[in-house]
Amino acid sequence: MRAAPPFLCPYCRGELAAAKDAQSCAACGRRYPVLFGIPDLRLSGDRYLDLDADRARAEELDRAATQGARFDELLELYWRKTPGTPASTAVRHVSGVRRGEEESGPILAKLPGGRLLDAGCGAGGSLLAAARSRAFDSLCGIDTALRWLVLARVRLAEAGVEGEVTLAAASIERLPFPDVSFDAVLMRHLLEHVESPEAALQAAGRALAAGGAAGIETFHRWSAAPEPHVGLLGAAWLPRRLQARYVRFRSGNDYSAVRLPSRREIFRAVEKAGLAIEGFVRAPVTAGQREALPRLLKPLAPVHDLLRSSPRLNRAVLSRVGPVLRFVARKKSA
């Protein structure tokens, strides 16, 4: 494996000097701690927890891991310790995280080899799939939630590939890497959780080397399927100002930090980022996805696979009303 790109200060873009317990910037004087073996290169918390609360959750997970808890046990523990999340929603999230590796295969297979950045890597399912594929010679994963990176570290360690992946707590908008550092950037289910998909895609474009490609996979607003985070049909179709209140009323879930972008919004942001859509990714319904579907929706899985078997129908139909929009965008030449 090639060495990962060097870390830069997310505030001033100065070079960071690494020590065992911190990364320090000589240019601006900021110091970023290394917590649980993971550099914390954030300027603020994520959209759910501030820095102190997130670090406390990460410490709790790390302590359980030190005491022998395995990844699946930590995942269950995480949702048991997440107040305000209905049990049915926790089950949906646990299932989705566990399926991350198998669901990543189709889009990873369309990306060029070389250095890969998984932006919003979460619990590491895509990084595990990438490591096992042996298609990339450098793997980096970032996420704004340190707690999720502790889960990713344990997951990768259990698979014996922890040493092949560089993890860092960081945001896509404040990437702690030099420009043109990566041959591929993966953004699986990131655009739904950032304040500005346009800013996130522009950052990805800057991170890509000439000819590099971004693999983008996102739930989108006008899908005919139920909203995947909360399982409510039509929740994302409502005016933005009503969505969180409707979801809270119907299911008790906090929907304030989720914003499903529309297909049009995504494509416009891709264009502004200097990327050109190269092709739509055709992915079958996996066994895990089929099992997780509500009983009334299971008969639609064969219909989905029939549509995705045709490149034309996959592009014209599934990319507009299917549950997930998947495509690869290539960085344009200067």
Using a 10 angstrom Cβ sphere, with 0-12 exposed, 13-18 middle and 19 or more buried, the burial of residue 154 is buried
Contact 185, 39 (CB under 8 A): no
Q: Which of 90, 123, 89 is nearest to 104 (CA)?
A: 123
Contact 140, 115 (CB under 8 A): yes
Q: Show pLDDT as tens, one digit a residue, over the chain (334 residues).
A: 788 899 999 999 999 999 889 999 999 999 999 999 999 999 999 989 999 999 999 999 999 999 999 999 999 999 888 877 888 888 888 889 999 999 999 999 999 999 999 999 999 999 999 999 999 999 999 999 999 999 999 999 999 999 999 999 999 999 999 999 999 999 999 999 999 999 999 999 999 999 999 999 999 999 988 898 888 989 999 999 999 999 999 999 999 999 999 999 999 999 999 999 999 999 988 777 777 777 877 888 888 888 888 889 888 888 998 889 999 999 987 6
Cα 20 to Cα 150: distance, rounded to the nearest angstrom:
17
3-state secondary structure 231-277: CECCHHHCCHHHHHHHHHHHHCCCCCCCCCCCHHHHHHHHHHCCEEE
pTM: 0.95
Q: Which of 152, 176, 175 is nearest to 62 (CA)?
A: 152
Q: Which two tokens stand for residue 52?
A: 């102190």
Does an H or E element contain 222, and which?
none
3-class SS at 210?
A: strand
Contact 172, 204 (CB under 8 A): yes
**Dihedral in degrees, nearest 10, Cα atoms 237, 199, 122, 92:** 0
Q: Which two tokens stand for residue 24?
A: 């320090």
Sign of CA dihedral 150, 145, 98, 129: negative
Superfamily of structural domain 37-220+261-331 = Vaccinia Virus protein VP39 (3.40.50.150)
Q: Which two tokens stand for residue 84?
A: 């305000």
Quick one: DSSP state of residue 121? Answer: -
Residues pairing with 187 in the sheet: 216
Chain Cα centroid distance, residue 256: 18
* Non-local CB neighbours of 179 within 8 Å, separated by 6+ positions: 206, 207
Q: Which two tokens stand for residue 87?
A: 């049990």
Using a 10 angstrom Cβ sphere, with 0-12 exposed, 13-18 middle and 19 or more buried, the burial of residue 5 is buried
Cα 236 to Cα 249: distance, rounded to the nearest angstrom:
14
Please tell me the predicted confidence (pLDDT) of residue 334: 63
Please tell me the predicted confidence (pLDDT) of residue 100: 93
Please tell me the predicted confidence (pLDDT) of residue 7: 96
Using a 10 angstrom Cβ sphere, with 0-12 exposed, 13-18 middle and 19 or more buried, the burial of residue 108 is buried
Cα 41 to Cα 37: distance, rounded to the nearest angstrom:
13
Please tell me the predicted confidence (pLDDT) of residue 333: 75
Written as one letter, the residue type at 298 is: K
Sign of CA dihedral 207, 208, 210, 216: negative
Does an H or E element contain 53, and which?
helix 51-66
Number of H helices and E strands in the chain, helices first, is: 13, 11
